[in-house]
Structure 1
Amino acid sequence: MNADKVKEYYLSEKVVDHYSRAVSSVGLWVSEEKIFQRVFADPKGSLLEIGCGCGRIAIGMSQLGYTNLLGVDFSRNMIESARKMSRMLELSISFQVADATQLPFADNLFDGAIFGFNGLMQIPGRDRRCDAMGEAFRVIRPGSYFVFTSHEREMSKWKKFWKQESARWRKGKQGSNLAEYGDRYEPTKLGDLFIHVPAKNDLVEDLKSVGFELEADVLRSQVALEPEPVQEFSDECRFWVARKP
């Protein structure tokens, strides 16, 4: 899977419509609200949301009182949707098209960064995911935090699947479209969704390799019991909180 294929998925009209509806029907998760308000204590601080999609998180945070938000995404169609929704709600949020692996911002510019809803894991290739982590590290100020989420292979729900998948890779019988162990295509009503499901140790290693210090990691279910719309919208995931020294 290359980045252009992933981008093509997120330019699709039906995918954009799905995420646009989620801005109001799902909104900010209870767990997101708790973690973001704790980590980003100053509502006037400058926050960058990478992979903002149609603006679900940025809009939710604006409604919580955060006043200096910038959302970026590589899907122009999603950015247009986010801008439209923000105007409709009379919110002052900036949105622009940008590649997470090559952010067009100066060093040490933001007071924090977010890469929500497993977006980081939808970048194909471990090297490119590290590039995105490195860019998040570069653009936030020392002492600031980077928060993101991921699925993980160690979850008991998927233990059987990954045991079988490991055997397929050892025998060279993995899917021909899978470049790295942990890559998956999840069939959805919107099409096949690419996502990388990492091992915890790999993420810890990658964060350290770009300079971050891991402050905390916690499963969403340990933070809050999410309402039904959130659980239908998204599976269990792990929050990661990393600090730039």
Structure 2
Amino acid sequence: MDPLGHWEDNRTALHYARASVHVGLWQSECILAERYLPKTSHILELGCGAGRIALGLYQLGWKQLTPTDIAAAMVDLAQGVFAESNVPLKALRADARTLPFDNQSFDHALFGFNGLMCIQGRTERAKALREIHRVLRPNGLLLLTAHDRECGESREHWRTATTPVDGELGDRWHSSESTPVFIHAGTKDETAAELTEADFTIVETAMRSEIADEPPAVRTFSDDTRWFVVRKI
């Protein structure tokens, strides 16, 4: 199966466009942005989808945002969401593994809603992390979420699924309202290792539910997930 196919499907894009309006920023996203991302900083967003996070941050005062996504369908809908909201942001199509930006172009980066773990294969995720590291300025932060197969809703499935069926342990194709979607669920230590191998140091990690009591709309939209805040070294 093609991991990109799900994100180019119009049904998927419309689902995320609705979330941009009706779900909005998670409380944990807002808390961590306030804690770590000065509003004067230039922030790169990877996997922006239909613009949910960028729209919410812009409306709260973060104006220097560069939202990107690998899927053309997502970029097109993000532009529509921004236009409807009178927000002068421009979404760009970009593959996190081959970013079209100069070295040290951004103060900080954000890879929300488990986007890194939608990249199939540890070596491919490593390419994305090296690229993010490259375009960050010295001491730049990367904020991201990743499923933790030892916590939350993932734990019961992975309690019995202890050997890889296809690819790496933690790889899984989920059914959805549109097409199957690939997601990798590592343990906290496995994900931390991927990050440190790409020359990031861990600043903070916690489950979303430990950071904020998210409203029902967010919990329906997304299972609990693990936040990582890491710094370029």
TM-score tier by shorter-chain length is over 0.9
SS in 1 for 2:180: strand
SS in 1 for 2:229: strand
| 2:152–2:223 CA contact under 8 A, matched in 1 | no
Give the equivalent residue in structure 1 for 2:148. 152
Structure 2 gap ranges (5+):
none
Identity of aligned residues (%): 36
Shift of 1:160: 4.0
Pairing partner for 2:194 from 198, 206, 209: 206
Distance across 1 between alignment mates of 2:26 and 2:152: 23
Give the equivalent residue in structure 2 for 1:28. 25
Letter in 2 for 1:140: L
Structure 1 gap ranges (5+):
none
Is 1:238 the counterpart of 2:226? The answer is yes
Shift of 1:57: 0.4
Distance across 1 between alignment mates of 2:218 and 2:106: 29
Letter in 1 for 2:10: E
Shift of 1:153: 1.4
Give the equivalent residue in structure 1 for 2:114. 118
Is 1:93 the counterpart of 2:89? The answer is yes
Give the equivalent residue in structure 2 for 1:135. 131
| 2:50–2:78 CA contact under 8 A, matched in 1 | yes
Give the equivalent residue in structure 2 for 1:45. 41
Letter in 2 for 1:135: E
Shift of 1:71: 0.6
TM-score with structure 2 setting the length: 0.96
Distance across 1 between alignment mates of 2:190 and 2:14: 34
Higher radius of gyration, 1 or 2: 1
Shift of 1:201: 1.5
| Pairs within 5 Å for 1:58-97 | 58-97=54-93
| 1:67–1:92 CA contact under 8 A, matched in 2 | no
Shift of 1:34: 0.4
Shift of 1:130: 1.1
Letter in 2 for 1:238: R
* Worse overlay, 112-121 or 182-191: 182-191
Distance across 2 between alignment mates of 1:81 and 1:13: 9
| 2:141–2:229 CA contact under 8 A, matched in 1 | yes
| Pairs within 5 Å for 1:190-201 | 190-201=178-189
Structure with higher helix content? 1
Shift of 1:242: 0.3
Letter in 2 for 1:76: A
Pairing partner for 1:228 from 211, 216, 219: 216
RMSD of aligned alpha carbons? 1.3
Q: Deviations over 1:114-168 (max 9, x none)?
A: 00000100000001111111111111111110000011111164444223211x5
Distance across 2 between alignment mates of 1:158 and 1:123: 18
Distance across 1 between alignment mates of 2:112 and 2:4: 17
Letter in 2 for 1:56: R
